[in-house]
Amino acid sequence: MSTTTIIERSGKIEQFLTFKLALEEYGVPILKVKEIVGLQDITPIPRSPDWILGVINLRGLMLPVVDLKKKCGLHPTEANIRNCIVVADVVSPNKSFSMGILVDEVEEVVSINQDQIEPSPHFSAKLKSDYLLGLGKSGKRIIILLDLDRVLLDSEVVGLGEVAKEVSASQT
Amino acid sequence: VRKVGEILVSSGKLDAKALEEAIEFQKNENQDKKLGEVLVESGVVDSLDLHDALKQQDHLRLSNHSASHESIRVSSDRLDLLVDTIGELVIAQATFSERLLHLELKDAEASRQLRHIEKLSRSLQEASLSLRMMVIRPVFEKMHRLVRDLSKKTGKEIELHLSGADTEIDKSVIDRIGDPLMHMIRNSCDHGLEFSSAERVRAGKSPSGNIYLSARHRSGEVVIEITDDGQGLHKNKILEKAIAKGLIQSHAVLSDAEIWSLIFLPGFSTAETVTDLSGRGVGMDVVKRTVESIRGRIEIESTAGKGSTFRLILPLTLAIIDGLIVGVGQQKYIIPMMQIHEAIRPKKEDLVTAMEVGEAVRVRKQILPLFRLAQVFDIPGIQDPSEGIVLILESNKQSLALLVDRIDQIRQVVIKPVSEGVPKQIAVSGSAILPDGTVGLLIEIHGLMELSLKHSAPRYESTQTSENSDFNETSKEHSP
């Protein structure tokens, strides 16, 4: 039946919210994203890792905010008006909660067909490739698709910057 | 709902015999007709009286109906969401008013409307906080059954008198107060009241023992009292026991309150025989712990031969505390007022440094270890303690002095847990939204002590305990 074909085909298309961290473009599945809020005063948590920026008051909810650039060892960038916080759902085996991710700039929502997502190659021994869902091709761009649950729940993520470097190298 | 015949009988418009006859008549001869019609036709009831009775019946039916819909169940998550959102509304409104004030808008009508919104949002907030309040009656009424059972088991005649059962308390407090109350009532029945009626009569009391359970509000707190008219606490027995257990020195001189507080020590029991009711040595220490875990306290009053009163003083709600908002560098933190004994600006000559790192401050007769909040949390703060404020805090009978840059304000804050996804921090027990809309962290004194010992150079151990400290109400002063 024709309707099922449509459903099957559309099931293969996934939507991702893309944003910039440092100079690279990253994407997260749109279904993980709850909302995007502007940058506001963040209350730091004393003696916590530097990539945990602190907590903000999101309409009465305490929302932890993390800096993925710091967590993944990317180059720091200067704060500007386009910075914002992407509020995402994080699910781990025994709990689920919301977390905010500080990003340099939110770009757009892109639809990527599943066959345009390539498994991430092994970049280096230092980087575990399970933090990535894969590399998504959208037109000429390559978007690094993050597995937020893994990135945010693992406390020892380093070296994501290397992925970005190699991706940009492969793009040229 | 009462039947119309019954209403007529009880209002004296109809006698019971006539009613029975009419019912009989209706049953046998005329099943289609209503009882009222039968009564009016047979002339025993005036049609006006019937009309009144029917009206009364309608009214009863209505009030019954509304009674069954008096309350609805709502999940506490939804309530929390509502309370949170209203809290945010109040903050948003306050920020907005302030902003308008800055604009120096000279529009009488606008400012009148603004005041109206302010009033509305405040009453909305009060209403939202009252949603969690419930009457304590169900907890109290459970005690009737307990006392009846105890009365049977012990063979004592016991009467339980309740008062103030309609006092409202936060649901979370009510949920946790049942067990301690039950334990204390059991104690009163078993230990408090005399062994037999004969013993009571000999002491000039009524043969049956009385236990009074009452609840009332007192300046933002709830006071629950359990009073018995029994024999009172045996001062000497408690002392003997405490000395035998090595809890106190045999020559110690203790005040009444100190003697009574001995019964809260773990494993303490003066019961001569172990019954299945009490005397097993598990008890008042658990009660005390539970009560303290909901930020309450217990007071005891006892007169030999007259009886004892156990007074639980509980917070109205767990969600709101009085907090002192303090500033360190750019950051603001909240410290529970309950734990602050005094705030002073230290004089230079009262500050001591040992080995250049261990700091202490002299507060009258005491020398207390001085912790710098900035240092413990590794954030920038003032360098010279004499420019800041030293708070004297107490946790688990240990006193310490905490240096902060400044005191902001005292405020009631709504406590929320620190969110998931943030590493657990022992010195932070919760968070709250500050009046400016940002998040403030609630300092946990005990965790702070632990953390500071872990992260800073060795310091003086506090040798002072609260027993010989001279802090009291009158010592809350600021030295300039």
Burial of B98 (0-12, 13-18, 19+ CB in 10 A): exposed
Q: B419 — contact with chain A (CB < 8 Å)? A: yes
* ipTM confidence score: 0.70
Instruction: Over range B112-141, report the average pLDDT.
Output: 85
The answer, yes or no, to whether residue B32 has pLDDT greater than 90, is no
What string of H, E and C letters represents the secondary structure of chain B?
Answer: CCCHHHHHHHCCCCCHHHHHHHHHHHHHCCCCCCHHHHHHHCCCCCHHHHHHHHHHHHHHHHHHHHHHCCCCCCCHHHHHHHHHHHHHHHHHHHHHHHHHHHHCCCCHHHHHHHHHHHHHHHHHHHHHHHCCEEECHHHHHHHHHHHHHHHHHHCCCEEEEEECCCCEEEHHHHHHHHHHHHHHHHHHHHHHCCCCHHHHHHCCCCCCEEEEEEEEEECCEEEEEEEECCCCCCHHHHHHHHHHCCCCCCCCCCCHHHHHHHHHCCCCCCCCCCCCCCCCCCCHHHHHHHHHHCCCEEEEEEECCCEEEEEEEEECCCCEEEEEEEEECCEEEEEEHHHEEEEECCCHHHEEEECCCEEEEEECCEEEEEEEHHHHCCCCCCCCHHHCEEEEEEECCEEEEEEECEEEEEEEEECECCCCCCCCCCCEEEEEECCCCCEEEEECHHHHHHHHHHHCCCCCCCCCCHHHCCCCHHHCCCCC
Contacts of A63 in chain B (CB under 8 A): 419
Nearest CA in chain B to A60: B84
CA distance, residue B399 to nearest chain A CA (Å)? 23
**Which of A34, A40, A45 should one mutate to test binding to chain B, selecting the residue with the greatest count of B CBs within 10 A?**
A45
Confidence category of residue A129, pLDDT binned at 50, 70, 90: low
Contacts of B416 in chain A (CB under 8 A): 60, 62
Contacts of A62 in chain B (CB under 8 A): 416-419, 431, 439
Diameter over CA atoms, chain B: 109
Contacts of B88 in chain A (CB under 8 A): 57, 59-60
Establish, for the pair of chains A and B, how many residue pairs have beta carbons separated by less than 8 Å: 79
Residues 113 through 152 of chain A touching chain B, CB cutoff 8 Å: 152
Minimal Cβ distance to A61: which of B84, B379, B422: B84
Minimal Cβ distance to B422: which of A48, A57, A60: A48
CA distance A35 to B291: 41
Confidence category of residue A36, pLDDT binned at 50, 70, 90: very high
CA distance, residue B404 to nearest chain A CA (Å)? 15
CA distance, residue A98 to nearest chain B CA (Å)? 8
Which tens digits make up the pLDDT trace of B228-248? 888 888 888 888 888 887 777
Mean pLDDT taken over chain B? 79
CB contact under 8 A, B439 and A54: yes
Which tens digits make up the pLDDT trace of B347-403? 888 888 876 667 888 888 888 888 888 888 888 888 888 889 999 987 666 788 999
Diameter over CA atoms, chain A: 60
Least confident residue range of B59-63, B109-113, B151-155? B59-63
B382 neighbors B400 (Cβ within 8 angstroms): no
Nearest CA in chain A to B374: A46
Find which of B54-63, B273-282, B458-467 is predicted with most confidence, using mean pLDDT: B54-63
Mean pLDDT taken over chain A? 78
Q: B426 — contact with chain A (CB < 8 Å)? A: no
CB contact under 8 A, A63 and B419: yes
The answer, yes or no, to whether residue B214 has pLDDT greater than 90, is yes
CA distance B157 to B206: 10
Strand order in the sheet with B351-354: B340-344, B389-395, B398-404, B366-372, B358-363, B351-354
Confidence at residue A84, expressed as pLDDT on a 0 to 100 scale: 92
Least confident residue range of A59-63, A125-129, B60-64? A125-129
CA distance, residue A54 to nearest chain B CA (Å)? 8
Minimal Cβ distance to B87: which of A45, A55, A60: A60
CB contact under 8 A, A55 and B440: no
CA distance B196 to B199: 5
pTM: 0.59
The answer, yes or no, to whether residue B312 has pLDDT greater than 50, is yes
Minimal Cβ distance to B425: which of A47, A60, A90: A47
